Amino acid sequence: MWQNFKIWGEFFVNLQSINSEITFCLMKKRKKNNFTATLIEPGNIVSSLTFSVLYALVFLVIYSPYSETAWFGVAKSESFLLTTTFVVVSVLFLILSRTLMFFLSKKIIKINYLKYSIWLLLEIILIGVFHAILSIVFVKMNEYPESYLLTKSILITLLGLGVPYVITTMWSIIKEMRNTLLVTDTNKVASDGEAIAQNIDIINITDNKGVLKLSIKLDNLYYIKAEDNYTIVYYTRNGMLFRYMIRCKIQTIEDTFKNTPLMRCHRTYIVNSKKIKVLRHETDGFYIDLDFEGIDPIPVSKTYTNAVVTGFSGETPPIKNKTNL
């Protein structure tokens, strides 16, 4: 039986190796440490956990008959209560873990791929430890060393949850990279630094080569952020927040869409003024809250304070507001 377990272990190691190669190829095309934010969005968390839990349950049902230490099973009355306890507690733990990750990422921790991977690995280890405790305390497998049961529980959990974690993570990354918006029927595109033919209802953005890359309804666009030589457009679709990366200067977008609701508020930010819910003045300056839950407050720099406050309120801001930034 241990030989079969080793085969599964080798399979997972090979799968991880393949995943690493794919990830490397994908990330070569992306900015270093540019985390795929959709991984920790509520909708993706729900779908990822649902798939992972179902996969793990199927895996355990198939694996249990071939393992001498497995007690998982719904057909055996003596293990049904223990199995139910393990499943329910594990699912609740995963829900709590991802909820905590979501809120911490918004307020305290800047999530990157390394932190995300460590977080998932800790989930696997803790569930494996919980399984080992149940095996030692309640099932009383005294014929096996505790260290053996602990190690095997963690490895089995790694197989049960690690595989769907890899699959859902890679799917999210690939989906975002291939995510494109519906391009409208227009030939009026321009190269970087030139004005793009525009419409107050449709925003068309080209890359540095003048190729039309994105066409989106103004009402769906929330803000644009500059990162090095790229700009990232944040927009909603079906009630969820997405982003689209384009190799284009944010200055070009600002020049192109003057006299529209798109308003520069910072060296790295352009916001859709129609989506501003609150413009607040804190001790360290102005901040913009957009009307979509989960978007962090956007700072307003001193350079753009006057224009932003005037555009938002229709009035010239007091001198003290200018000098506080």
What does each C-alpha distance from 175 to 33, 145, 155, 196, 202 come to in angstroms?
18, 44, 29, 28, 24
Per-residue pLDDT of the chain (325 residues; tens, 9 = 90+): 445 444 445 544 444 444 444 444 444 444 444 566 678 878 888 999 999 999 998 998 888 888 887 776 655 556 778 888 899 999 999 999 999 998 888 778 888 888 999 999 999 999 999 999 988 888 887 788 989 999 999 999 999 999 999 999 988 877 766 553 333 333 343 333 334 444 447 888 877 777 788 888 888 999 999 987 789 999 988 888 888 888 888 888 888 888 888 999 999 999 999 899 988 888 888 999 999 988 999 999 988 888 888 877 654 444 344 333 3
Burial 191-230 (b: 16+ CB within 10 A, else e): eeeeebebeeeebbbbbeeeebbbbbbbebbbbbbbeeeb
For residue 29, with 0-12 CB atoms within 10 Å meaning exposed, 13-18 middle and 19 or more buried, which class applies? exposed
DSSP code of 138? I
* CATH architecture for segment(s) 202-323: Beta Barrel (2.40)
Q: For the whole prediction, is pTM greater than 0.85? A: no
Contacts 24+ apart (CB under 8 A), 57-61: 57/87, 59/159, 59/160, 59/163, 60/156, 60/160
User: By three-state DSSP, how is residue 269 classified?
Assistant: strand
For residue 130, with 0-12 CB atoms within 10 Å meaning exposed, 13-18 middle and 19 or more buried, which class applies? middle
Contact 298, 273 (CB under 8 A): no
Q: Is the dihedral of CA 259, 260, 266, 267 positive or negative?
A: negative
What does each C-alpha distance from 77 to 192, 218, 219, 284 come to in angstroms?
69, 59, 57, 63
Domain assignments of the chain as residue spans, ordered by start:
2-177, 202-323
Q: Is the dihedral of CA 249, 253, 258, 261 positive or negative?
A: negative
Nearest to 224 by CA among 208, 248, 200, 201: 248
285: left (phi over 0), alpha (psi -120 to 50) or beta: left
